[in-house]
């Protein structure tokens, strides 16, 4: 018997989606220096990273980072004035971890080694260093009524325009790596971006899911006032066929992009006869033959069926066209999981018990319905595109 699959996930530690502020509707971000924004409405509050000595630290408490020396009143005022007049006061540069570069002072550059995959590990340097190092470190910050922490993924707005409802899909997403602040009006975050496929080289492909994000080691320093809340981003382990299904509205990642060094993507698992990755929004089926067990795109099964039907006709009459159009979206009248058309031939693939849509009647059998140019309809079993064994 065939197995079907749409997606599988493992859940990392992340906060559930909560948003409180309004946001603009602009879409594609630039490749660097993303929005700093910041109308100074409600203030951002940073929560100290260090714990008073009188408090006992639990086993789960991270080691508190060292803090800079307190600034004099004059130095604090000068830093405040500089921050107020600078639209983007800080920048961050990254280098490959293996190069072990040192600052002019001779000190090694700090390293970031918790960016989803080891291949994203980098050294970084925030400039101007003295001004950045003068700000105190914090573990958490609050915007409006929501508190967020280092390690969470945040929503970042693009500009100061206001809308009545937050469009989560249009927001930039970034992982908070560091929180620094002078006071409640000057809170800054060092973030690493999780980009949409269309915002990276090569653009969006057919196998990318609607809510798929790609973590990178591209970093920026942003004003905390540009934050619009937090979002949960899950890891989808596409190689684990036993993982549980995830909600279709869930944001997820499965590969990374090394923005700082190699400009390459991590590899995805390739399946089916077209050797293409799975789109988690579309169904795949697994051959039940114990000697095969290959995963197949349902759309490839539809394409193969219509190609076979059209080729039989071609033997007696030259076909009008060699192009095949496919779709994995069910129409309002059909419960087909995938549809392929060529010339006057049409193949619809049905999988028993699907789709899970209250507007459609689930199929009561697994089969391919072939619609011929003369109006006739034929049905045939799904067959594995590798071994030919029937998929029930």
Torsion over CA: 21, 27, 31, 36 (sign): negative
Q: Domains along the chain?
A: 8-53+63-253 (2.30.30.490), 295-391 (no CATH)
Residue 86 binned pLDDT confidence (cut-offs 50, 70, 90)? very high
Return mean pLDDT, the chain.
Answer: 82
Identify the DSSP state of 32: S
Instruction: Determine the Cα–Cα distance for residues 267 and 280; give it in Å rounded to an integer.
Output: 16
Q: What is the pTM of this model?
A: 0.82
Mean pLDDT for the stretch of residues 281-294:
94
pLDDT of residue 2: 58
pLDDT of residue 191: 98
Name the 3-class secondary structure at 123. strand
**Range of lowest pLDDT (17-26, 311-320, 335-344):** 17-26
Mean pLDDT for the stretch of residues 168-181:
96
Residue 6 binned pLDDT confidence (cut-offs 50, 70, 90)? low
Is the pLDDT at 19 greater than 60? The verdict is no
359-386 pLDDT tens trace: 899 999 999 999 999 999 999 999 999 9
57-84 pLDDT tens trace: 222 223 345 788 899 999 999 999 999 9
- Rg (Cα) of the chain, in Å, rounded? 26
Instruction: Determine the Cα–Cα distance for residues 113 and 376; give it in Å rounded to an integer.
Output: 62
Instruction: Determine the Cα–Cα distance for residues 115 and 369; give it in Å rounded to an integer.
Output: 47
Select the more confidently predicted residue: 24 or 282.
282
pLDDT of residue 321: 46
Closest Cα to residue 284, out of 362, 342, 338? Answer: 338
With contact defined as beta carbons under 8 Å apart, do 379 and 332 qualify?
A: no
Highest mean pLDDT among 4-18, 99-113, 158-172, 347-361: 347-361
Residue 357 binned pLDDT confidence (cut-offs 50, 70, 90)? confident
């Amino acid at each position: 018997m065939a197995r079907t699959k749409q997606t599988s996930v493992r859940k990392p530690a992340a906060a559930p989606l909560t948003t409180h502020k309004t946001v603009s509707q602009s879409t594609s971000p630039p490749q660097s220096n993303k929005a700093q924004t910041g109308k100074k409405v409600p203030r951002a509050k940073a929560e100290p990273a260090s714990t008073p000595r009188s408090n006992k630290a639990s086993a789960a408490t991270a080691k508190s980072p060292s803090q800079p020396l307190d600034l004099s009143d004059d130095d604090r005022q000068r830093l405040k004035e500089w921050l107020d007049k600078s639209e983007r006061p800080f920048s961050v540069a990254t280098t490959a971890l293996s190069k072990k570069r040192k600052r002019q002072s001779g000190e090694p550059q700090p390293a970031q080694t918790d960016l989803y995959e080891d291949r994203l590990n980098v050294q970084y340097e925030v400039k101007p260093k003295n001004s950045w190092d003068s700000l105190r470190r914090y573990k958490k910050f609050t915007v409006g009524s929501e508190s967020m922490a280092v390690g969470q993924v945040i929503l970042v707005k693009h500009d100061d325009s206001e809308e009545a409802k937050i469009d989560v899909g249009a927001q930039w997403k970034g992982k908070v790596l560091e929180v620094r602040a002078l006071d409640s009006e000057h809170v800054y975050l060092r973030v690493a971006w999780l980009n949409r496929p269309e915002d990276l080289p090569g653009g969006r492909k057919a196998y990318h899911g609607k809510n798929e994000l790609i973590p990178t080691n591209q970093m920026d320093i942003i004003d905390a006032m540009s934050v619009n809340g937090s979002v949960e981003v899950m890891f989808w382990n596409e190689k684990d066929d036993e993982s549980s299904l995830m909600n279709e509205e869930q944001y997820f990642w499965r590969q990374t992009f090394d923005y700082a060094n190699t400009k390459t993507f991590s590899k995805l698992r390739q399946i089916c006869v077209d050797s293409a990755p799975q789109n988690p929004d579309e169904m795949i089926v697994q051959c039940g033959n114990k000697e095969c067990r290959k995963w197949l795109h349902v759309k490839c099964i539809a394409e193969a069926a219509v190609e076979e039907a059209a080729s039989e006709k071609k033997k007696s009459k030259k076909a009008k066209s060699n192009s095949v159009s496919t779709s994995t979206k069910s129409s309002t009248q059909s419960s087909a999981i995938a549809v392929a058309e060529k010339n006057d031939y049409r193949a619809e693939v049905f999988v028993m018990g699907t789709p899970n849509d209250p507007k459609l009647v689930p199929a009561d059998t697994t089969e391919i319905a072939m619609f011929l140019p003369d109006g006739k309809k034929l049905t045939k079993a799904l067959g594995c595109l590798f071994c030919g064994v029937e998929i029930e």
